Chain A
Amino acid sequence: MTKAELTAHITTTFSGQVTVIENTQPEPYFIVKPEDLVAFARFIHDDSALQLTFLMNLAGADTGERYEVVYNVCSYQLKHRIFFKIQLPHDNPEFDTVIQVWPGANWFEREVWELFGMTVRNHPNLTRFLLEDDWNEGFPLRKGWTGTDFIPLPDRG
């Protein structure tokens, strides 16, 4: 399917609400509501016209105003790819796991939890694996984070 067909198919067939982000990339990009996340994931995974069965990447982001979790999924069968993201507030960011849809999300979600401090609901094993075992300096990928030997890049003008 082309980008326009993918966009039209997803916005018309998915019963929840998705917002389309206009961009010049070859793949369509959507914003999904956090409460619709699992339903949306299940829909694009199972829909016979989409078959987005492979989670290529899942990444957190801190834009300054809010947190985002960006998903990048593709279909080996139909050779297309989409992006979508959810937006979370700065206070008490929580989102649902999508492991039951794409088992590969497991470690990605742990990483997002560990580095951004976003809680992943229903995750089977939310434990630390990237930072040191006795790390207690918070969530280093949050905006404005600093640690004991953290040296910010000097402003060279």
Chain B
Amino acid sequence: MGLIKKLPVYTEHIPGGSLVTTSVNSVLTMAQAKSLWYLLFGTACCAIELMATGASRYDFDRLGMIFRASPRQADIMLVAGTITKKMAPRVKRIYDQMAQPRYVLAMGGCAIGGGPFYYDCYSVLKGVDKIIPVDVFVPGCPPRPEALLQGCLEVGKKIRTLKLDEWS
């Protein structure tokens, strides 16, 4: 019943239980915010930190975040690592293959703006937001797992504020 308490509900107690009235919007946004399946998209060292976050010490699963290897099944793309210019069209294509509503979290300096490869580099894309829209940026090189967890919670908060007709 913990979840119910977080929803705008009208509850009527009847013998043997309760009747609950609430809005579709709040149920849907909460369901989505609590089960963000993420696309496994590690292209460099940040992916190691992503794995650490997914492993038992930090345990992504308790946020309802389970990795999917297919963009068709994923809600959020965690861009964990350097995106080279050669990779960029593939990133765009994988993003386009994700079903809507879809979200993107840019993890680490590389995905945000090129990171250590900003200067003197011919091959690295200077920020994944140049090719796909990004919802949350998590800075660091790499970010601590706590930072990544908070970034994912921020995506959840953003989803909770959406209206049904804004879903895209």
Chain A contacts for B85, CB-based, 8 A = 131-132
Interface residues in A, total, Cβ within 8 A: 14
Q: What sequence of 0s and 1s flags, for each residue 98-129 of chain B, a beta carbon within 8 Å of any chain A beta carbon?
A: 00000000000000000000111111001000
Q: Is B120 touching A151 in the complex (CB atoms < 8 A)?
A: yes
- Given A130-B86, A131-B86, answer yes or no on A140-B120 (Cβ-Cβ < 8 Å): no
Interface residues in B, total, Cβ within 8 A: 10
Query: A154–B120 Cα gap in the complex (Å)?
Result: 9
Q: What sequence of 0s and 1s flags, for each residue 63-94 of chain B, a beta carbon within 8 Å of any chain A beta carbon?
A: 00000000000000000000001100100000
A144, CB-defined interface residue at 8 Å: no
Smallest CB–CB gap between A62 and chain B, Å? Answer: 14
Q: Is B120 touching A131 in the complex (CB atoms < 8 A)?
A: no
Secondary structure class of chain B's binding surface, majority of residues = loop
Query: A18–B155 Cα gap in the complex (Å)?
Result: 63
Query: A152–B118 Cα gap in the complex (Å)?
Result: 9
Chain A contacts for B120, CB-based, 8 A = 150-153
Q: What sequence of 0s and 1s flags, for each residue 113-134 of chain A, a beta carbon within 8 Å of any chain B beta carbon?
A: 0000000000000000011110
Smallest CB–CB gap between B126 and chain A, Å? Answer: 7
A157, CB-defined interface residue at 8 Å: no
- The residue that A140 contacts in the complex, of B86, B123, B126, with Cβ under 8 A, is B123
A64, CB-defined interface residue at 8 Å: no
- The residue that B122 contacts in the complex, of A133, A147, A153, A154, with Cβ under 8 A, is A147
Smallest CB–CB gap between A155 and chain B, Å? Answer: 11
Smallest CB–CB gap between B159 and chain A, Å? Answer: 33
Chain B contacts for A145, CB-based, 8 A = 122
Q: List 8 A-B contacts (CB under 8 A).
A: A130-B86, A131-B86, A132-B89, A140-B122, A140-B123, A145-B122, A150-B121, A152-B120
Q: Is A154 touching B119 in the complex (CB atoms < 8 A)?
A: yes
